[in-house]
Chains A and B, each alone.
Chain A
C-alpha cells in the first residue's frame, strides 16, 4: 500500500480508529466492561480488536454498530441483553466524535478560505500600490524633465534680460559718444576753413614787396578776420580735446564694465563696482535725474562682480525709469562687518500694494509688452540669494521706492 498524504478535509471519510482516538481509551474500556461484562471488546469490521482483551471469552456474542448507514465494527460481550443498548451508545459516541472533527475541520477551512481571500485582496492591493508607485516614479522623472526644460528656458530668458539691458546701455553709450563726436567734427571743419584763410594770408605775405604792400596785408588780415580766427582757434581745439577725452572716458568705463562680466568670483570693493555701474548708467540719468551717492567703508566682498553689477544696473535703470520728471536716485552703502547693505532709492512714482506683492515674480512687468522681460527683479533676487543674501523692497505711491540688498561678508569664499 502506498502512503497518501493525509486528507484533512472536513468532508473526508472518518475511520473508526480515528473516531475512537477522540476518547480516553482506558475509560472507554471500563465503560464497555461495565455494560457488557469482563471480556467486553470492540472490533472493527475486519475483526481487528480495538478495545478489550486480545482473545474472545467464552459465551460472548457480537452485535455490529454503524456509522451513517454503514456497519463499521462490532461490540462483543457476555451480557447479550445489554448489547443493543451498548451499540446505540457507541453509535452516539462515534457520531459525536465525527461531529466534533467535522466542526473543527470546517471551521479551519472556512477561516482558511477567508484568509486566502484576504491574501488575494492584499496581493491585489500590493499590485495596485506597485502600479501607483511606478506611476509616481515616472511622474517624478517627468516633472524633473519639465523642471529642466523650464530652467533652461529661464536661463535663456535671463540671458535675454541681460542682452536687453546691454542693448539699452549701448543706445545710451552711443548717444554719449555721438554728441562729442558731432562737435569735434564740426570744430575740425571750422579748423579746416581757418587753415584756408591762413594759407591765403601766407601767399600774400610771400609774393609781395614794398611799403604799400603792408597796407594790403593789413587789408587782407582784416578781410580774413584773423583776430577772431586766432581767438577762436585755441578754443575750438581745446573743446575738441575735451570732447575726445569724454569719449575716452566712456570707452574706459565700457572696458571697466566688460572686464567685470567675466565669470567667476573675485574679492572686490562693492563701492567701486557701484561706481563703475553708475558710470555705465550715467547716460540714462541725463540732466533731470540727480545721482546721490553715500558710500560707507565696506570690507572686501568675495562675489561674482558681473552678476552683482547686473543687479545694480537693473535696479538703477528701474529707478531712473520710475522718475517721471525731475528727481534723484540715492545709493547708500553700509557695513557692520558682518553684512553689507546696499540701498538704492528713487523719488519716483512708487508702487501699489498689488504690484509690490508681485514685484519679484518671474515675467511680472509693468512695462509695455516687449519693453521689459519681467525678469529683471527676479534675476536680481536670485543673484542676491546665490550670494547668501536677501533683497527687500519698500515703496510708497507718489513718494518713491527703495530696494535694500543685504549680503553677508563671509557667506562663502
Chain B
C-alpha cells in the first residue's frame, strides 16, 4: 500500500500467486475484459526473452473516491516456476492481499501444496504476517476433466481460515467473485490505515465496486 494524502492517492497492491500454469494470467486477462475501460489500464507483461526469470503481469485498475482520492489497484502475477523464487519474493513484497490460484486437476495436488508452502515461507521472508494477510484460495480449471470435487476440496481446506472459490478463468466463471472476495477481505486493513470510509467516503461496497457490479452474464455480454 502506498498512501499519499497530499497527492490524494492510494495504491493497493494485490498478487495472484500459485503454481506454474494454474491460470493466474488468465484471471488478469478476464478481469481486464470484465472491467470497464475507464477503471482499468492495459495488461503489462514483463518477460525476458529466453527464460521467464522476470516474468510477471501487471494489470492497473482504479477509481476516484467521493473525496477526490484516487484509489489505484495494481494486480500482479508471480512466475510460477519453482526456480524463480527471487522474483516471486520481490513481487510478493508489500502486497495488501493475495489470491492463491490453485490448479483443480488431481495431477496438480502436490504442486499446489508446494506452491502454497512457498507462499507462506516467502510471506514470512518479505515481512508479511501470513496469518493476517488477506487471502482467497481459488481452485481454477473447474472446466477440465480429472479434477478434485468441490466437496473434497472444501473438506480438505475446512480447517483453514481462508475462503475457497471455484473458477474457470478460461471461461470467465469465478474470476470476478474471487477478486471481489479479496477486495472485501482487504478493505478493513486499508480502511483502518487510511480512513477510507470516514474521510474518503469509500464504503466496502464502493471499494469492491471497482470490479463492477455486473453479474457474470452481464459482464460476458459486454
**What is the CA–CA distance of A217 and B126 in the complex, to the nearest angstrom?**
137
Q: Are A68 and B46 in contact (CB under 8 A)?
A: no
Contacts of B90 in A (CB 8 A): 10, 106, 109-110, 112-113
Q: Are A111 and B86 in contact (CB under 8 A)?
A: yes
Q: Taking A13-B9, A106-B54 as contacts, is the C-beta distance between A69 and B37 under 8 angstroms? A: yes
**What is the CA–CA distance of A104 and B100 in the complex, to the nearest angstrom?**
26
Does A99 lie at the interface of the complex (its beta carbon under 8 Å from any beta carbon of B)? yes
What would be 8 A-B contacts, judged by CB atoms less than 8 Å apart? A11-B13, A11-B91, A13-B2, A13-B11, A70-B41, A103-B54, A113-B89, A114-B86
Contacts of A23 in B (CB 8 A): none
Q: Contact partner of B62 among A7, A70, A98, A109, CB < 8 A?
A: A70
Query: How many whole Å from A121's CB to the nearest CB in chain B?
Result: 12
Query: How many whole Å from B17's CB to the nearest CB in chain A?
Result: 15
Query: How many whole Å from A330's CB to the nearest CB in chain B?
Result: 83
Q: Which residues of B contact A (CB under 8 A)?
A: 2, 6, 9, 11, 13, 37-42, 44, 46, 48, 53-54, 56, 58, 60-62, 70, 72, 74, 76, 84-87, 89-91, 93-94, 125-126
Contacts of B11 in A (CB 8 A): 13
**What is the CA–CA distance of A99 and B58 in the complex, to the nearest angstrom?**
10
Query: How many whole Å from A94's CB to the nearest CB in chain B?
Result: 11
Q: Are B93 and A9 in contact (CB under 8 A)?
A: yes
Contacts of B44 in A (CB 8 A): 95, 98-99, 102
**What is the CA–CA distance of A110 and B48 in the complex, to the nearest angstrom?**
14
Q: Contact partner of A110 among B6, B40, B89, CB < 8 A?
A: B89
Contacts of A98 in B (CB 8 A): 44
Query: How many whole Å from B154's CB to the nearest CB in chain A?
Result: 34
Does A228 lie at the interface of the complex (its beta carbon under 8 Å from any beta carbon of B)? no
Query: How many whole Å from A90's CB to the nearest CB in chain B?
Result: 15
For A43-82 the 0/1 string (1 means CB < 8 A from B) is: 0000000000000000000000011111000000000000
Contacts of A9 in B (CB 8 A): 93-94
Q: Are B41 and A102 in contact (CB under 8 A)?
A: no
Q: Are B40 and A106 in contact (CB under 8 A)?
A: no
Using A69-B60, A110-B89, A110-B90 as known contacts, list a sample of 9 further A-B pairs with CB atoms less than 8 Å apart, ordered by residue number in A: A11-B93, A12-B2, A13-B2, A13-B11, A102-B58, A110-B54, A110-B87, A112-B90, A114-B85
Contacts of B126 in A (CB 8 A): 113
**What is the CA–CA distance of A110 and B93 in the complex, to the nearest angstrom?**
10
Interface footprint category on A: 20 to 34
**What is the CA–CA distance of A99 and B43 in the complex, to the nearest angstrom?**
11
Q: Taking A11-B13, A111-B86, A117-B125 as contacts, is the C-beta distance between A68 and B60 under 8 angstroms? A: yes
Contacts of A111 in B (CB 8 A): 86
Does A371 lie at the interface of the complex (its beta carbon under 8 Å from any beta carbon of B)? no
Does A272 lie at the interface of the complex (its beta carbon under 8 Å from any beta carbon of B)? no
Does A354 lie at the interface of the complex (its beta carbon under 8 Å from any beta carbon of B)? no
Q: Are A69 and B61 in contact (CB under 8 A)?
A: yes
Query: How many whole Å from A124's CB to the nearest CB in chain B?
Result: 14
For A8-44 the 0/1 string (1 means CB < 8 A from B) is: 0111110000000000000000000000000000000
Query: How many whole Å from B183's CB to the nearest CB in chain A?
Result: 17
Q: Are B70 and A70 in contact (CB under 8 A)?
A: yes
Does A107 lie at the interface of the complex (its beta carbon under 8 Å from any beta carbon of B)? yes
Contacts of A11 in B (CB 8 A): 13, 74, 76, 91, 93-94
Q: Are A69 and B94 in contact (CB under 8 A)?
A: no
Does A357 lie at the interface of the complex (its beta carbon under 8 Å from any beta carbon of B)? no
Does A1 lie at the interface of the complex (its beta carbon under 8 Å from any beta carbon of B)? yes
Q: Are B62 and A69 in contact (CB under 8 A)?
A: yes
Q: Taking A1-B6, A11-B74 as contacts, is the C-beta distance between A106 and B60 under 8 angstroms? A: no
Instruction: Give the nearest-CB partner of A105 in chain B.
Output: B90
The 7 A-B residue pairs whose C-beta atoms are closest, nearest first, are A68-B41, A110-B86, A68-B60, A109-B90, A114-B86, A113-B89, A110-B87
**What is the CA–CA distance of A162 and B136 in the complex, to the nearest angstrom?**
87
Give A165-206 interface residues, CB cut-off 8 Å to B: none
Instruction: Give the nearest-CB partner of B37 in chain A.
Output: A69
Instruction: Give the nearest-CB partner of B76 in chain A.
Output: A11
Contacts of A67 in B (CB 8 A): 41
Instruction: Give the nearest-CB partner of B126 in chain A.
Output: A113
Q: Are A68 and B62 in contact (CB under 8 A)?
A: yes
Query: How many whole Å from B56's CB to the nearest CB in chain A?
Result: 7
